[in-house]
Amino acid sequence: MELKIDDVCFSYPSKEVLKNITFEAHSGEILGIIGQNGCGKTTLLKCLNTTLSATDGCITIDGQDVLSMTKKKIAQEMGFVTQTTSTTFPFTVFETVMMGRYSRKQTLEGESSDDVRIVYDALKDAGALEFADRDIDELSGGERRRVMIARALVQEPRILLLDEPTLHLDINHQFDLMDLISDLAKNKSLLIVLVTHDLILAARYCDRVIAVEHGEIVAMGETGDTLTPDLMRQVFDIDAEISIDPRVGLNVTILGKHKR
């Protein structure tokens, strides 16, 4: 499966947010999008699944333009886990995950035993099975994030879009979640596109990274080749050392704010 983004631009009336974004991504890889706050990372994810309509350019999945797809078809292709996991009404975890089956159902079709099996598998894969009978508002931030990933998985997508998946999680749960995401890419051949601020996790888990600055791609490629001290300085205004640690692989050591 190939996701192709060709010269995509997005503007609000008073601000140009994305400028000429072009890249390709394939099944089984984890693509990290990094950049400072407000650089357009989340906007890019929203353009990918048409929550926002790109003002110019084209996004295709295996050659088919996403704008020509129905909402349900897009949901079958892409699962999106947003930053927000808050809910107003306390659905159970099982009900919440079952909602993800919507795009696979006909208008009046009820839930089948196949749906229940798919929900069960997704809860298990996401490590959320043990709290399936609890109300979602009783869960911690990390547990909710797992539930949202399970809900995206039951859409049976080929692409998983994750917006700051480790936000507000403690370091232990950050690694748990990133291990889960890594497994999903490898075992289920999902294309994972994740937006993150965390350069250490990006270095360790992403196969490729795209660095975005002021709505433009400033660097793109294999993580080891792309994450360089110069890029850190240019994009984040920080001094950092990039090294290969035999125990953990690619490692980013942040030294502090760039001293001019």
Half-sphere CA count of 47, side-chain side, radius 13 A = 29
According to DSSP, the residues that pair with 61 across neighbouring strands are 3, 64
Are 176 and 8 in contact, with CB atoms under 8 Å apart? no
- Looking up tokens 């001094």, which residue turns up? 239
* Spatial separation of the C-alpha atoms in residues 203 and 31, rounded to whole Å: 11
Are 244 and 192 in contact, with CB atoms under 8 Å apart? no
Residue numbers at the binding site for another protein (CB under 8 A): 49, 51, 70-76, 79-80, 82, 84, 86-92, 94-96, 99-100, 102-103, 105, 107-108, 116-117, 119-120, 123, 129-133, 135, 151-152, 155
Are 19 and 215 in contact, with CB atoms under 8 Å apart? yes
Which of residues 104 and 233 has its CB atom nearest to another protein in the complex?
104
Which of residues 54 and 119 has its CB atom nearest to another protein in the complex?
119
Are 212 and 33 in contact, with CB atoms under 8 Å apart? yes
For residue 55, give both structure tokens.
């003002």
End-to-end CA distance of the chain: 45
> Which helix (H) or strand (E) element contains residue 256?
strand 249-257
* Spatial separation of the C-alpha atoms in residues 144 and 45, rounded to whole Å: 20
